[in-house]
Amino acid sequence: MQTEQELKNLVKEKYSEIALQDKETNASSCCGSGCCSTEVYNIMNDDYTSLEGYNADADLGLGCGLPTEFALIKTGDTVIDLGSGAGNDCFIARNITGVSGKVIGIDFTPAMIDKARLNAEKLGYNNVEFRMGDIENMPVTANVADVVVSNCVINLVPNKANVFSEIFRVLKKGGHFSISDVVLNGQLPDKIKHIAEMYAGCISGAIQKDDYLNLLKQTGFTNISIQKEKTITIPQDILTNYLLPEDINILKESNTSIVSITVYAEKPSACCEPGCC
């Protein structure tokens, strides 16, 4: 069993490699047309190209939803993006906040931060900032964000309760988040849980959907709702890289579903700390 730090190091190493590739290279590794799928991390990506503010250089083909589409961002808002990667969601958020708003991206992968800052410089966005940091201990003061977004990142964090506590801390009273993430209905076979590549690909780091939502309630969030939900199917050719045929059959017969959800929740406007209400 790997420690939390070992899992974080695994994720950092994997996403450092991804940062040095473009979207086409990432997509070709899993043959978006369905011919083959050798990578796990981009089998659930949604299409961003129709969203205003989209920048192709910032789109690495990652993610499992479109949280900025559902985030109810307004002009002048301060938005924080957790696991900001090359800046894709940050730039779409900035298109909505305008020049009077501010967008802060947080990522713990140096190569991603470098790429995002370069993209922001090319776009001339002076109000989009990228900070190196762990989302379990954000380099942000309390009560600063109107909105928090994140796309397929929290499932990569071993201690999800810490992340939700940090989101609660950095949001203003009455602020809210919209997060796309991967959750489970049913139990994954142990072999999948223990495969490192499946963790870096957002699968074996996922927890039960009900447990995920309960963590939000325990943290103090209110008005929790699912904005979008879709089932993720792991292609057969990916499964055969990691599992024997009998193990694949066990998975298929288990009725376990891997689900991408986009979840919304609010920090109460009359609450100071989790549990105070």
Please give the average per-residue pLDDT across 55-72, as a whole number. Answer: 86
pLDDT recorded at residue 198: 60
Question: Does pLDDT of 237 surpass 50?
Answer: yes
The one-letter amino acid at 276: C
Domains and CATH numbers, the chain: 4-264 (3.40.50.150)
Q: Check pLDDT > 60 for residue 33.
A: no
Residue 146 backbone phi and psi in degrees, to 5: -80, -35
Beta strands at 257-266 and 128-132: parallel, antiparallel or unpaired:
unpaired
The pTM assigned to this predicted structure is 0.85
Q: Are 234 and 43 in contact (CB under 8 A)?
A: yes
Give the span between the Cα atoms of 135 and 154, in whole angstroms.
Answer: 9
Taken in order 242, 248, 252, 254, the sign of the CA dihedral is negative
Confidence check: pLDDT of 71 > 80 = yes
Instruction: Please state, as a whole number, how many other Cβ atoms lie within 10 Å of the Cβ of residue 160.
Output: 21
Lowest mean pLDDT among 19-23, 95-99, 162-166, 217-221: 19-23
| Mean confidence (pLDDT) of the chain | 83
pLDDT higher than 50, residue 30: no
Identity of the residue numbered 206: A
Residue 118 CA to chain centroid, in angstroms? Answer: 21
pLDDT digits (tens, 9 = 90+) for 129-178: 999 999 999 999 999 999 999 999 998 888 999 999 999 999 999 999 99
Average pLDDT over residues 243-263: 83
Q: What is the dihedral of CA 112, 117, 123, 125, to 10 degrees?
A: 130
Q: What is the pLDDT of residue 246?
A: 81
- How high is the pLDDT of residue 242? 72
